[in-house]
Amino acid sequence: MKYWYILPVVMLVSLGLTALLRQYALRRSIIDVPNARSSHTVPTPRGGGVAIVVVFAAALVLMVWLQLIGTDESLALLGSGLLVAVIGFMDDHGHIAARWRLLGHFFAAMWALFWMHGLPAIKVSGFTVDLGWAGHALAVLYLVWMLNLYNFMDGIDGIASLEAICACLGLALIYWLHGEASLIWAPLLLAAAVAGFLYWNFPTARIFMGDAGSGFLGIILGGLTLQAAWSGSELFFAWLMMLGVFIVDATFTLIRRLIRGDKVYEAHRSHAYQYASRHYKGHFPVTVAVSLINIFWLLPLSVAVSFQRVDPALGLIIAYIPLLFLAVKYKAGEREGA
C-alpha cells in the first residue's frame, strides 16, 4: 500500500466536488420534489453522484499510470461506467425514454464484458460450470440488472452509499487476506469516492445521488464482481453475498410486481427498505440496520466462503435466507394499502 495517501485525497476531493454540485443543482433548480412515490418529504437537490463518477474515474486512470491496475479491467469499468453515468446525467436533467436508456445500458454491459473477457467458468459445490456464450449473455443481463437495481434501491438517505462502502471495504479486506494486491485498489478507490459524497447524503440528506451516480455504482460493482470471478469463484460469490441486501430486496420486489402484472418501469415505493423506513418513521434506522447486516452477517460469511470454509452455493443460501425473511416481513413488492 505504498500509495495509501491517495485514498484520503480521493475522499476529500469527492467531498468538495459534491458541495460544488449541490450549489450547481440549487442554482439550476435540479431539485427532487416529493410526490406520492417519494420516500422523502423535503425538496432536495439531486445529481451529487457525479462527484463519485468524476473522482473515481480520475483515480482509476492514475492507478493505471502507476501500473497498479490492469488496463483491460480499467477500460471495462471506465467505458461502461461513464456511459451509464452520461445516460443518467441526461435523465436527471430531462427525460430519456426507457427503451433508449435500456439500450444504452445493454451496450455498456457488453462493453464491460468484452474487456473483462467474458464470464469465466465458475466452480461451485465441486463442479465446474462453463456456460460459454450463454454464460456471457447471462453476465450481460446481470450487469444490466445490477445497475438498474442500484437505481431502484437508491430511495432513502445514505443507503446506496453505505451499501457500496460496506461491499467495497469488505472485499478489500478479503483481497488483502488472500494477498490479491492487483484487485484491492479499485474497491478501495470506489469506497473513498463514495465516502466523500456520503457526508452530504447521510440522513438527513442535503443532496441526492441521482441516476448518474446510482447507475454508475451499480455497473461498477457488477464489473468488480466479474473481475473477481477470474481470480477465484469463491471471490465471485463473496461479492454476491456482500451485495445481498440490495440483490434480494430488488429481485424479490421485481418478481412480485411482475407476477401481479404491474408496469415494472413505473416509480413505486414497494421495496422492503421503503416499507421499513415508513414503519420506523425515518431513513436513519433502516440505513444503519442495512450496514449492520452487511458487517455482522454478510461479511463473516463472505470471508468463510472466500477461504472455502463454507461451500459457495451453501454460503449464498445461508446468507440470503434471512434477507428473504426480511423482504417478506417488510412486504417487499406488495402494493401500498394492500
Segment 219-256, tens digit of pLDDT? 999 999 999 999 999 999 999 999 999 999 999 999 99
Cell for 178? 488472500
- pLDDT bin (cut points 50, 70, 90) of residue 37 is low
Q: What is the mean pLDDT of residues 163-180?
A: 97
Determine which of 9-18, 30-39, 89-98 has the lowest per-residue pLDDT on average.
Answer: 30-39
pLDDT digits (tens, 9 = 90+) for 7-22: 999 999 999 999 999 9
Residues whose CB is less than 8 angstroms from the CB of residue 20 and which lie 6 or more positions away in sequence, other chains included: none
Region at 132 (left for phi over 0; alpha for psi -120 to 50; beta for the rest): left
- Note whether 253 and 333 are within 8 A (CB): yes
* Integer Cα distance of 143 and 139 in angstroms: 6
Task: Round the average pLDDT of the chain to a whole number and report it.
Answer: 93
pLDDT of 258 above 70: yes
- At 202, is the secondary structure helix, strand, or coil? coil
Give the model's pLDDT for residue 40. 67
User: Which pTM was predicted?
Assistant: 0.95
